[in-house]
Amino acid sequence: MSAAAKSQAPRKRMPRAQRERQMVEIAEIVFAERGYSAASMDDIADRVGVSKPMLYEYFNSKEGLLLACISEARAQLRHVTEQAVAGATDAQDAMRRGLQAFFVFIRERRQAWALVRHESTLIGTSAAQEIEATRQQQTDLIAALMTGYFDDADAGRVEAAAEFVVGGCERLAIWCERHEDVTPEVATQHAMDLLWYGLERLATR
């Protein structure tokens, strides 16, 4: 065995929970850098320093592993957004804080965000559902916020608006990635400008 063994610590055993966390952590990196289908379970297993059947023991399938990664990211996103909105004084403030939290999150956790962005291949599978559930979570948060702060009783309209906001922010976040100079603050400002006052005031004819 070579003298310069990379992590030749004789492969310690570790409790399931800890190993799972480690696997998810590394899988997130590999999925994000190679893409879901190009990533191989053998590769992930190697990097974790464990054999492939362990991954299957804990996550059942490649998709199950992806799912765990997405769930993790989703929980974090939920947490930061709820925290941010909690102290808001009015509707505009709440919206601004929520948007800001989102844009900060996706900048700080690019890899996790990439998992959601580079949607799964898997129509009708649980991973696709999990990604949709993440959006649903954000949509619900926004819809609840609107229902709390706004007068409009039309549920359809509130839902539609919430969906629109989620989709718009997702796109805007991707746009931000192409423009290094656009900070979360600027992104938030753009979104608020549009969302709050609309396009009408810009129209000249």
Partner DNA sequence: AAGTCCATCTTACTGGGAGTAAGTTACTTC
Partner DNA sequence: GAAGTAACTTACTCCCAGTAAGATGGACTT
Residue 176, both tokens? 């931000």
- C-alpha Rg value of the chain to the nearest Å: 20
Q: Which stretch binds DNA (CB under 7 A): 47-55, 111-119, 177-185, 189-197?
A: 47-55
Which x/- pattern over 63-102 shows residues binding DNA (rule: CB under 7 A)?
x---------------------------------------
Q: Which of residues 122-181 bind its own copies (CB under 8 A)?
A: 122-125, 128, 135, 146, 149-152, 156-157, 159-161, 163-172, 174-175, 179
Binder among 21, 33, 35, 51 for DNA (CB under 7 A): 51
Does position 6 interact with DNA (CB under 7 A)? The reply is: no
Q: How far apart are CA 73 and CA 9, in angstroms?
A: 30
Burial (CB count <10 Å: 0-12, 13-18, 19+), residue 135: middle
Question: Of 46 and 159, which CB lies nearer to its own copies in the complex structure?
Answer: 159
Q: Which of residues 45-84 bind its own copies (CB under 8 A)?
A: none
Q: Which stretch binds DNA (CB under 7 A): 60-68, 98-106, 132-140, 158-166?
A: 60-68
Q: At what angle do helices 91-108 and 155-178 cross, to 10 degrees?
A: 40
Q: How far apart are CA 62 and CA 40, in angstroms?
A: 9
Which x/- pattern over 11-40 shows residues binding DNA (rule: CB under 7 A)?
xxxxxx--x-------------------xx
Q: Is 152 helix (H, G, I), strand (E, B) or coil?
A: coil
Neighbours of 182 (CB within 10 A): 18
Q: Would you give the distance in Å from CA 59 to the centre of its chain?
A: 20
Does position 56 interact with DNA (CB under 7 A)? The reply is: yes
Question: Of 75 and 186, which CB lies nearer to its own copies in the complex structure?
Answer: 186
Neighbours of 55 (CB within 10 A): 23
User: 């959601």: which residue's tokens?
Assistant: 116
Question: Of 124 and 156, which CB lies nearer to DNA in the complex structure?
Answer: 124
Catalog residues that contact DNA under the rule CB under 7 A.
11-16, 19, 39-42, 49-54, 56-57, 60-63
